[in-house]
Amino acid sequence: MKNFQFHRPKSVAEAVKLLSGNEGAKALAGGQSLLPMLKLDLAQPTDLVSLAGLAELREIRIDGTNLLVGALATHDEVAASKPIAALARLAGGIGDAQVRNRGTIGGSISHADPAADYPAALVALGATIATDRRRLPADSFFTGLFQSALEPDELITAVHFPVPERCSYVKFAHRASKFAVVGVMVVKAKGGVRVAVTGAGSRVFRVPEMEAALGKKFAPESLDGIAVAADDLQTDSEASAEFRAHLIGVMAKRAVASA
C-alpha cells in the first residue's frame, strides 16, 4: 500500500471539490470494496476523500411514492428498513455482519461489481440514482464489468426506489463471500413486470421474455419453457455459463413464488 493524503470533507460540495481535477483521488465510504483493493495494490490513490462525516447522506425515508435511501446508508440499515421488504431481505443477505455494518449502498453501486446484489434491485425496481449533479436511471447506470455511468469526480448522494405492488429477490450465493453466483429480482408494479439478473454476466441485465410471460400471468409456471442463452454468461470456479443459465430460470421461479 502506497502513501496517500487523507481528507475529511464536511459537505458534499467540499468532497466533490477535493475529487475534481485530481485523477489520483478516490472517495471512501464504508471501505468494504476499496480497502481490499488497496491492500492488494489494485488501487493506488494519491488522496482518499472520506465521506464518513456527511450525515445528510445517511437518511432512509419515504419521499412521495419512492423510498429514498441515502448513499451512506449501510447494508444493515437498509436491511432494517420496511417499505420494500424484498430490498430489506436483499441487504440482509449481503456478506457477513461486519460487511453489513460497514458497507454502504452508495459504495457498492459505485463499485459496480457484477456479482453484487443491489444492481438487480435497482434495475428491477426502476430506481433512479441521484448524484451531486444529476439523476441517472438504473437501466443505463451499469455499463460493464466494474463500470458505471459515473464521472470520476461524481458522487452518489441517494437512490430513489419506486415502491412496487409485489417483488422478491432470490439468489444462489457463493459459499464463502455470499456474492450472487446468480441472483434474480422480480418486480410487479403499475408499469408492468421487470426481471433483473445479477451475478451471471459482466453486468446486471433484464430478461424481456420472462417479463412478457409474467405480464400475462404472474405465476411461476408462466416461466416454463423460457431459457436464457449461456453465450454471454460467466464461467468460473463456482459455476459454468450453462449452469448459470439454468439457475436463472430456477431463481426466477422462486422469486415469483415468494413475491
Ramachandran angles phi, psi of 149, nearest 5° = -80, 0
Evaluate whether 124 touches 167 at the Cβ level (below 8 Å).
Answer: yes
Widest pairwise Cα distance in the chain: 58
Write the DSSP string, 88-127.
HHHHHTSS-HHHHHH-BHHHHHHHT-TT-SHHHHHHHHT-
Task: Please give the Cα distance from 249 to 236 (Å, whole number).
Answer: 19
Report the predicted TM-score, pTM, of the whole model to 2 decimal places: 0.95
pLDDT digits (tens, 9 = 90+) for 91-144: 999 999 999 999 999 999 999 999 999 999 999 999 999 999 999 999 999 999
Q: What is the structure's pLDDT at 75?
A: 98
Which residues make up the CATH 3.30.465.10 domain(s) of the chain?
Answer: 5-162
pLDDT digits (tens, 9 = 90+) for 60-75: 999 999 999 999 999 9
* Pairing relationship of beta strands 192-198 and 142-144 according to DSSP bridges: unpaired
Report the CATH number of the 5-162 domain.
Answer: 3.30.465.10
- The CATH architecture annotation of domain 166-258 reads 2-Layer Sandwich (3.30)
pLDDT digits (tens, 9 = 90+) for 194-217: 999 999 999 999 999 999 999 999
Q: What is the structure's pLDDT at 147?
A: 97
* Residue count (the chain): 259
The pLDDT of residue 2 is above 90: no
Write the DSSP string, 15-82.
HHHHHTT-TTEEEESS-TTHHHHHHTTS---SEEEE-TT-GGG--EEEETTEEEEETT-BHHHHHT--
From the list 42, 30, 37, the residue with the least C-alpha distance to 71 is 30
Average pLDDT over residues 238-244: 97
Residue 259 β-bridge partners: none
Which residues make up the CATH 3.30.390.50 domain(s) of the chain?
Answer: 166-258
Q: What is the mean pLDDT of the chain?
A: 96
From the list 48, 53, 80, the residue with the least C-alpha distance to 67 is 80
Cell numbers describing residue 176: 464463502
